[in-house]
Structure 1
Amino acid sequence: MLNKNLISAQTEKISALQQTILGKLIILLAELLFALPVGFVLARFRIGGVAWIFGGIVSGALVLTAYRILSKETAEPNKTVRKIGQLLVGLVVGFSIAHGDMSALYSQLHIFIFITLFLMLSGIGIGYIYSRISQTNLLTAMLATTPGGIGIMSSIAADYGKNASVVALVQIIRVTTIVFFIPILARILAVNDANTVVSIFPANFFSTDILYLALLLLSLALTFVSVSIANIVKIPAAFFFGALVVGISFNYLLNLFPLLANLDFKPPFLISLIGQAFLGISIGEYWGSKPNLGQKTIVYALIPVGMTMGAGFVAAAIATFLTPWDWLTCMLVAAPGGSAEMILVSLALNHNVEIVTAGHLVRLIAIHASLPLWLLLFRYLDRLLPNSGDN
């Protein structure tokens, strides 16, 4: 009898898991089907090659809102969506910079590190101001205002019994604002740049050639292996970094085989389009899953977001004096958040993709690698300075 009960319980768990997975797939399919046409509509307004990120944001928010209204339940954001988006975008970016000259960037490594430290230290100061204004616990405020990822910072807040919802809210407002504002500003700044080319509907949208499809499947298989290895060795942003490595090295590997030596494979634009949509959906889902945001809470959250963006502009201004880069490049490098999105903007504008990619990779690695030290500092300041709130 006991064994039958155990088997019955396990069967119910498996059935519930299958239903959960099926539900998530249906929601994701609905979001993707809605995001792509919205992206095409937005692309006609010439907002640049990242229109499908915007389409994904709209789609993710509306689909989860509709799901909540119809089912009377709140669906949690699907964390896997952003990982897949980072994987696809990382692969596209890797192929785009494979033939670029990355050697000159080593001499600018100190600039990338400076921007990272500047944004992290600014985040501490902004967090302190935010905690005083909003009467929020200091540790909560610093986790909310330091660029480091929505999921990571909110999970740390939950681990220490702080207000993870506030952390997630401020982080998602920051990322959403930057993803909306920076591409539009970049597009305006790029109008008079003769070297900037915006390509929204490229010729290589997709190909049904047998060899091309085989190479595409091979690149995706190698990406899966690379990402798995990156996850095992705990590399920061493993999905983006692992795919980036494959994109950079794929054609070099093909050249090792005489029959494939003359090929120059590039993934179809459809891969970039889906990756962009997934990145947007991951942002939109956070908005769709938060139905009860008070006006006061949002107003308080906008204060540190505005200050963080201001810190990013200051960092970009300093970088223009220390480097030969133009203002647009410095702004894309220093934008405080949405690394994959900012790299996509530079790729869509065909504007110094190697520099922007290197800057954000250095920041991702530095922030994730030093996160334990920053967390110790945050906790020390939390104990040292008087708190304004419990959470």
Structure 2
Amino acid sequence: MSLGISMLFTFTVAFIGAKAGQKLHLPAPFMIGSMLAVMLFSVLTDTAYFPQQAKVIAQIVAGIFIGQKLTRSDVIHLKHVIKPTLLLLVLLTINTFIFGIVFSYIFDWNILTGLLATTPGGLMDTTLIAADFDSEIHVVAIMQLVRSIGVLLLFPAWIQLFTSEKSQGPTKEETVTATKKQALNIKQFLTVMLVGICGGLLGYLLGFPAGTLSLSLLFSSLFKLRTNISAFPIQIRQFAQILAGSMVGSSFTREIAASLETFIIPAVLLIIIYLFISYLYAQINKRKGWLDFTSALFASCPAGATDIALISADYGVNMNSVAMIQIARLIHAVGIMPLLYQLVSFFYSLFSYYLKSFVHNRRDFKFYFNTIWVHKP
């Protein structure tokens, strides 16, 4: 089967899954429904295919959508995101170093493998970093994939445990958008899309972490604030959710399903740890009055920044704060933390070397003492 036909079948399955998720009232139905359907299709047929380059489309759409919701009051309040962002980065850094080292010891990984496997970064970015380091790439890739899928599947239900907000029905913005569907100005819509696409492609070409999402959001929001033009139908966001679900689902192959027996324990432990960190972070934000509880949960979710940005719109949270914190988390995870990993790995190796030398020297001394003095004739 050609790649084009495989891609067509995959997207068709994703679309059916999204509609089924909507009928079954799944949380974030277009993302979760399409992802589950494509995962099942991939395991059963081993023909699921969706190019990872399509992630750029989902990132651009997510950036445009968030930018179109930005208001002048949101810009004024962005300064209040600094403290929650710093808190999250500190929590995630401490968590990664503690459990990265613990996992490397328990599951017999090298130190860099343990740190990269527990990094709250994107699947593709973290795997590429692992290829440059002295780490077991397959372990990092599988742990990152299972963590991303597990969090995306469990997180909407996790959200509903702590909030009375329901995602089954359309949100206020969806209702308004649906009401104004016939009045959509095509010229304004195309202009908004063109501006956002230019920003997203610039971010993609620059190649820095979350560049596509960040610059499409920046261009879209600046255009909105400058012109007060807002034209973005909800169906475009739903299409982007199906794209994201297709990409995540198609990456879950038979080989990965077969390897789950080996990685199920560390993966489940990692997901539980991150859910606890998310809850702790939300509680601190609630007590400090920095973010509302639901927004803080989304802001700390260790899945893809694009995926979370697309899902959070279904829950009526402060998408701009969530997006800014998620982008900062991703940049920190793939831009700063690997440098810290190299330092830790260097000192860890140095410590291990001197410890082994010390033990070896003690054994030599003990052997010399026993043979020369204790057993001296």
Q: Normalization by structure 2: what TM-score?
A: 0.81
What letter is aligned with 1:276?
Q
Residue number in structure 2 paired with 1:35: 14
Residue of structure 1 aligned with 2:265, choices 283, 299, 317: 299
Q: How far 1:237 sits from its partner (Å)?
A: 0.9
Residue number in structure 1 paired with 2:132: 159
Separation (CA, whole Å) in 1 of partners of 2:59 and 2:221: 15
Change (3 A) 1:359 1:375: same
The Cα offsets for residues 314-362 of structure 1, whole Å up to 9 and x where unpaired, read as 2222222333433222212222233223333332121222322222122
What letter is aligned with 1:64?
S
Residue of structure 2 aligned with 1:47, choices 26, 29, 32: 26
Runs of 4+ aligned structure 1 residues displaced above 6 Å come to: 206-211
Q: How far 1:385 sits from its partner (Å)?
A: 5.8
Residue number in structure 1 paired with 2:86: 113
Structure 1: state its 5+ residue gaps.
Answer: 1-21, 256-263
- 1:169 paired with 2:142, answer yes
The Cα offsets for residues 48-98 of structure 1, whole Å up to 9 and x where unpaired, read as 4x2111122123323433552x6xxxx776321322212212211211224
Change (3 A) 1:24 1:253: farther
Report which structure shows greater RCO (CA 8 Å, sep ≥6): 1
The Cα offsets for residues 99-141 of structure 1, whole Å up to 9 and x where unpaired, read as 5522223134032112112102211111111112211111111
Residue of structure 2 aligned with 1:222, choices 172, 180, 195: 195
Residue number in structure 1 paired with 2:300: 334
Separation (CA, whole Å) in 2 of partners of 1:80 and 1:363: 22
- 1:59 paired with 2:37, answer yes
Separation (CA, whole Å) in 2 of partners of 1:114 and 1:162: 29
Residue number in structure 2 paired with 1:213: 186
Q: How far 1:166 sits from its partner (Å)?
A: 1.0
Q: What is the aligned-residue RMSD (CA, Å)?
A: 3.1
- Taking only the aligned residue pairs, the percentage that are identical comes to 19
Separation (CA, whole Å) in 2 of partners of 1:330 and 1:347: 14
The Cα offsets for residues 136-161 of structure 1, whole Å up to 9 and x where unpaired, read as 11111110001111111112222234
Alpha-carbon contact 2:122-2:330 (below 8 Å) kept: no
Change (3 A) 1:383 1:240: same
Residue number in structure 2 paired with 1:19: none
**Equivalence map 1:90-239=2 (5 Å):** 90-98=63-71, 100-191=73-164, 198=171, 202=175, 204=177, 212-239=185-212
Separation (CA, whole Å) in 1 of partners of 2:122 and 2:296: 21
Alpha-carbon contact 2:26-2:33 (below 8 Å) kept: no
Aligned residues: 350
Separation (CA, whole Å) in 2 of partners of 1:325 and 1:43: 29
**Equivalence map 1:281-292=2 (5 Å):** 281-288=246-253, 290-292=256-258
Q: Which has a greater percent of helix?
A: 2
Separation (CA, whole Å) in 1 of partners of 2:194 and 2:238: 19
Q: Normalization by structure 1: what TM-score?
A: 0.79
Structure 2: state its 5+ residue gaps.
Answer: 354-377
Q: How far 1:174 sits from its partner (Å)?
A: 1.5
- 1:345 paired with 2:311, answer yes
Change (3 A) 1:363 1:282: same
Separation (CA, whole Å) in 2 of partners of 1:150 and 1:381: 27
Q: How far 1:222 sits from its partner (Å)?
A: 2.3
- 1:87 paired with 2:60, answer yes
Separation (CA, whole Å) in 1 of partners of 2:174 and 2:225: 27
Q: How far 1:386 sits from its partner (Å)?
A: 5.0
The Cα offsets for residues 184-219 of structure 1, whole Å up to 9 and x where unpaired, read as 2323433269xx973696464699979833333333
Separation (CA, whole Å) in 2 of partners of 1:313 and 1:33: 36
Structure with max Cα Rg? 2
Bigger mean CA deviation after superposition, 312-321 or 347-356: 312-321
